[in-house]
Chain A
Amino acid sequence: MPALQCEHLSKVYRGGFRKKGEVQALQDLSLAVETGQIFSLLGPNGAGKTTFVKILLSITHPTSGRAFVLDRPITEPRVRRKVGYLPENHRFPGYLTGQQVLTSFGSLSGVRGPALRSHIDSLLTLVGMQEWRDVKVRKYSKGMMQRLGLAQALVNDPAIVFLDEPTDGVDPVGRKEIRDVLRNLRNEGKTIFLNSHLLSEVELVSDRVAILDKGKLLKVGTVQELTTTEESYHIGYEGSIPEALRTEAAARVLDIVISSEGIVARVSDAASLNALIDLLRKHKVLITSVGQQRNTLEESFISLIKREIPE
């Protein structure tokens, strides 16, 4: 059973008073996330990651499409009893202490009484905020707010947790601690949905990653699959290529398209490119040019994310 499933989700934000300025934040997005995984949605700022999570939590309404969380339609409020959420740039009421935040929002999630109190103790320890429990949150730093936000997201012992840029404003040590917390949660069988614009933040923990850009889902796979660099080459030729040779050529590369305009081959490394050229030469195909093909959208996007890795 997938913990999360959506079909053809689209979202158009209408521009304020003047009807212009419509934003297509999501386009026909279909996705399923299996239970017990750490799943990351990766994409540059403005890609639609936050919009996607907000739709799943019914904070924003989809323009079309439907979605299920824990096998229930997202429109039912009681789905959220077993859902945790750390919003991006969240703000807790400043007059509450850290502990009061957890009690208040915990009881809104339907957890009450002594069970809630002992759970709060362990959560504060988990995120390293025990010493700050009685301090008003208006005195917290950004990193502390994130830690408290993470505890808040876990206060109802959720089956699925949505974390929107959870390491924003957190120092490197804190980031490592958060990653450890996420791994432990996964080991407890919880599903974790992570939004991030930094590949470095997700590659260490994610079981699967989806790449979103301009509201479109470009690719879903393991980190390994998404980051292996494959290159495409364009090979110009003269003459004709018989069917048998086409089949043989296809076997040597990841992907090949042969037309009268030329050959476009996707290869994993230079060796297989050379192997392809050798094969063509052996069959007396006259090669007129070999050039690197421009990256596909996905590949350029991956390199875009890679460049953002902070050192």
Chain B
Amino acid sequence: MNILVLIRLTLRELSSKATMYILAGISTVVLLGVALAVSVTSSADGETLMLFGQQVSPPVPAADLARVVQQMQAGLAGGLFTGIILFGVFATAGVIPDMLERGTVDLYLSKPISRWQLLLGKYTGAVTAIAINILYFLAGAWLVFGLKCGVWEPTLLTSSLTMIFMFAALYALVVFFATWTRSTAATIILTYLYLFILGGILQNREFSLYLISENTIYRTIVDGFYYLFPQISAMQENAAKQIMGLEMDWKPFLQSFLSGSVFLLAAAVILKRRDF
């Protein structure tokens, strides 16, 4: 019950900021663009998917059109997801620091709610806000492709759950940074550092950190760090597979679930022990 109230408060907080509307606005523009750009032409050779009047691929039999469309959907969803992640982190990074601000935190903490519930409520609220955006975009894209290309494969729709999960795993890391630093700017910087630099280095550790030493312990520690963090790019590859109807590897999702739990737990411990 408390959690629901907190989710509602967080959604209201986020909807009072321009960033969420900008995010929805960008999604709308992209959807309209896709609606205008995409078409299917039929000829004796088969069906051809067109983008801005250009052939995307050679004509295929009608039965194979879905596969071609799904490939395009995967590319679009991948690009947009990267956008939503970057912008979504930016838009929601302030949720925890704002709650922990001097003069405001006292109001929250004096309520009959435990600190981990406060954290979980704010976390869920922010994830809900981004989930709404993801659903809006993917449902919109599914509709556009259905109407324009006649392809109604549900994989794009179902991939929204995967994408929401990915953001949720990443947002646990954001909450951890936010609880620890209590600063929106620091949270954004640390999260971007992870996404742009550390994440890539850890992912490609065979070609980077491994080269520093052949020591097994060292490499185990490096591996440990890799698995500690949410595996955004590995999950993203799998989300693309999901959209294309290919088999997915669930390991990165399980690992990211554990990673998210660890970071949320760590944030809860930090919050519980802190004096305000």
Contact = CB atoms under 8 A, between A and B. Distances in A.
B276 A54 contact: yes
What is the interface residue range for chain A against chain B? 20 to 34
B79 interface: no
A108 B111 contact: yes
B110 interface: yes
Given A13-B275, A87-B103, A107-B5, A59 B111 contact: no
Interface string B147-191: 000000000000000000000000000000000000000000000
A95 B16 contact: yes
Contacts of B5: 104, 107-108
Interface in B112-139: 112-114
B26 to A, nearest CB: 22
Interface stretch (A77-85, A123-131, A239-247): A77-85
A22 to B, nearest CB: 13
B219 to A, nearest CB: 32
Given A80-B110, A91-B104, A60 B276 contact: yes
A85 B110 contact: yes
B113 A108 contact: yes
Contacts of A60: 275-276
B152 to A, nearest CB: 40
A96 B21 CA distance: 18
B103 A90 contact: yes
Nearest to A83: B110
Interface string A71-115: 000000111110101010111110110001000110111100000
Contacts of B107: 85, 87, 90, 92, 105, 152
A58 B17 CA distance: 31
A61 interface: yes
Contacts of B12: 95-96, 100, 104
Interface in B68-110: 98, 101-110
A78 to B, nearest CB: 5
A93 B113 contact: no
Interface string B1-37: 0100110010011001100000000000000000000
B276 A104 contact: no
Nearest to A75: B114
A95 B13 contact: yes
Contacts of A59: 105-106, 109-110, 275-276
Contacts of B103: 87, 89-91
A80 B112 contact: yes
A193 B273 CA distance: 26
Contacts of A93: 13, 98, 104
A59 B275 CA distance: 6
A95 B107 CA distance: 16
A57 interface: yes
Given A78-B112, A108-B108, 15 more contacts: A57-B110, A59-B105, A59-B109, A77-B112, A79-B112, A81-B112, A89-B103, A91-B102, A91-B103, A91-B104, A92-B107, A96-B12, A104-B9, A108-B5, A108-B111
6 contacts: A54-B276, A57-B110, A59-B109, A60-B275, A87-B110, A91-B103
Interface of B: 2, 5-6, 9, 12-13, 16-17, 98, 101-114, 273, 275-276
Interface of A: 13, 54, 57-61, 77-81, 83, 85, 87, 89-93, 95-96, 100, 104-105, 107-110, 152
- What are the 9 tightest A-B residue pairs by CB atom distance, in nearest-first order? A91-B103, A95-B16, A87-B106, A85-B110, A81-B112, A80-B112, A60-B275, A108-B111, A59-B109
